[in-house]
Structure 1
Amino acid sequence: MRTPGILIFGLVLAPCGWILDLTSTVAPNWRQLYGIANQPVDVVMNQGIWDICKSSTISTEITCNLRGNDQTYFNNQVIPVAQGLMIASLIVTAIGLAVVTPATRCWTDRHPRWILAGVGGILIFCSGVLTIIPIAWYTHFLTSLNTTTAFANPQNPDIRVGYCIVLGYIGGIMEMLGGLVICVGFCRCCGGQNRGENPEPTRTTRYTTRAPNPVPYPRTNLPRSVTPSSSGTPYSRNSLDDELDYPRAKAQRKGTVNPAYNGRPYDADL
């Protein structure tokens, strides 16, 4: 049986969102600091929720494990909250996928377990919400988070959004959409047609009119094979007379005239 489209849509969006959230959680690029004091112009400080890395815009060299140099940044209230919520989101998404996957019964002849799939969809939707909350909170306080990193221009610090924020938003929205679509499985209407199922078709009785059997023409038990006559006709006159079972007029002898003869020949005389 073909897997319903809503389950396929949810099972595609949820794992993709989980991968994006995992990247956003572990990557140290929630915000980028440019114009660092006493540093070359090309130096960029990448701050995440677990670590801080220093990179350059003109080279590929990256130096990480700089968390101890800026402990003030990790003391901001949003950082431990973001750590807990992002990890919780990853765990809840994994549980939701573990529930939805066996409930779909892909490529089998049995219908999906819609109640179980709906529960998994709720878990996936909640995991997307758990991702959006810390991402939105961190974005709101992006430029006002405390840090010990000094800027060359303190009056106008150059603080930019990192790619982890973008990936977190996309992953959270994908998980919310995937979970919401799977939750449609709770709706049982139209006999399963709106959920992609193929209900068994109702069998209708077909009435056919049978033609009556044709009445066989009475025949004698004589054999059908007839030897062609010398005149070239397919049947001889004698054999034709034998096969016909209705009375015929007697043939007139030569030299006699029937007074009732009206001039119309019989069929056998033709």
Structure 2
Amino acid sequence: MDPIVEVVALILGFLAWVMAGVALPNRYWKQSTVDGTVITTSTIYENLWMSCATDSTGVHNCREFPSMLALSGYIQASRALMIGSIVLGTFGLVATLVGMQCCKAGGENYVLKGRIAGIGGAFFLLQGLCTMISVSWYAFNITQDFFNPLYPGIRYEIGEGLYIGWCSATLAICGGACLVCACRSDTEDKVPYPYSATGRTVYSAAATSRRDGPPTYDKNAYV
């Protein structure tokens, strides 16, 4: 596996992991819209854990959601997916670090280290998918209520926390795809084949050296 690909994938995975950790506690997953409002006295914004409000004087008041079971299903699912995303990203970082050629933790077996790095790439892909599903599902519910003319509650718009989540998911998927594709091509190049594509036998280096060396005869040849 190309060391440059490993380093680039590790950087992308690390940035995705950090951004997922930033997006999870971010308060602005959705915020009340000012569309059609002449005078705005307060702004309401929410995330997966709490609901906050700020008035024109800049005073913030936040309250945590009192019951997890009383929440909407998509909020509970988004919580689980984001926490799972951070856990998967942690496994991906550890596996990628162990599988890098410059790391001595996995020994000198570069084929095994490449497979471990490929497993790290798979963890990054799962991290990106979990984050993408979480933020996209949350955004879908926001837009569904916003464009519903019969919705009686407060209308919200997409907050900055979702944009951070989308960036995190994109970086994780790109980093994981680089590792998985590089590991797959590297493994295919190193698999020994007994016969070539033309049907001729492919000899090993030891067999070639014996064939090209000086001829040897059995003792019966001199009789």
In structure 1, C-alpha distance between the alignment counterparts of 2:68 and 2:87, rounded to whole Å: 29
CA separation of 1:103 and 1:159: change in aligned 2, threshold 3 A = same
After TM superposition, the structure 1 = structure 2 runs for residues 249-260 of structure 1, keeping only pairs within 5 Å, are none
Q: What is the 5 A alignment of 1:142-181? A: 142-144=142-144, 158-181=155-178
Query: In structure 2, what is the Cα distance between the partners aligned to 1:104 and 1:50?
Result: 37
Higher RCO (CA < 8 A, seq sep 6+): 2
- Does residue 80 of the first structure (1) align with residue 68 of the second (2)? no
Q: Choose 47-56 or 168-177, whichever is displaced more.
A: 47-56
Aligned-residue offset at 1:59: 5.3
Q: Report the alpha carbon displacement of residue 5 of structure 1 after superposing the two structures with TM.
A: 1.1
Q: What is the TM-score with the length of structure 1 in the denominator?
A: 0.57
Letter in 1 for 2:16: G
Q: 1:197-251 deviations in whole A, cap 9, x for unaligned?
A: xxxxxxxxxxxxxxxxxxxxxxxxxxxxxxxxxxxxxxxxxxxxxxxxxxxxxxx
Secondary structure of residue in 2 paired with 1:169: helix
- Secondary structure of the residue aligned to 2:142 is coil
Cα RMSD for the two superposed structures: 3.3
CA distance in 2, matches of 1:103, 1:22: 24
**Partner SS, residue 63 of structure 2:** coil
Partner residue of 2:184? 186
User: Structure 1 residues 41 and 6, CA, compared in 2 at 3 Å: closer, same or farther?
Assistant: same
| Rounded Cα–Cα distance in structure 2 between residues aligned with 1:102 and 1:41 | 54
Does the C-alpha gap of structure 1 residues 145 and 155 become closer, same or farther in structure 2, counting only changes over 3 Å?
A: closer
Match of 1:64 in 2: 62
Gaps of 5+ in 2: 191-223
- Structure 1 partner of 2:11: 12
For 1:29 and 1:74, how far apart are their aligned partners in 2?
Answer: 21
Return the alpha-carbon distance in structure 2 between the equivalents of residues 74 and 23 of structure 1. Answer: 25
Check the 8 A contact 2:68/2:76 in 1, yes or no: no
Deviation of the 1:158 alpha carbon? 4.6
Q: Percent identity?
A: 18
Counterpart residue number, 1:254:
none
Q: Matched residues in 1 for 2:134 and 2:88: separation?
A: 15
Aligned pairs (5 A) from 1:123-138: 123-138=123-138
How many positions carry a matched residue from both structures? 178
- Once the two structures are overlaid, the 10-residue window that deviates more, 155-164 or 23-32, is 155-164
TM-score (norm 2): 0.68
Between the aligned partners of 1:155 and 1:19, the Cα distance in structure 2 is 37
Higher helix share: 2
Change over 3 Å in CA distance of 1:24–1:137 after alignment to 2: same
2:121 matches 1:102? no
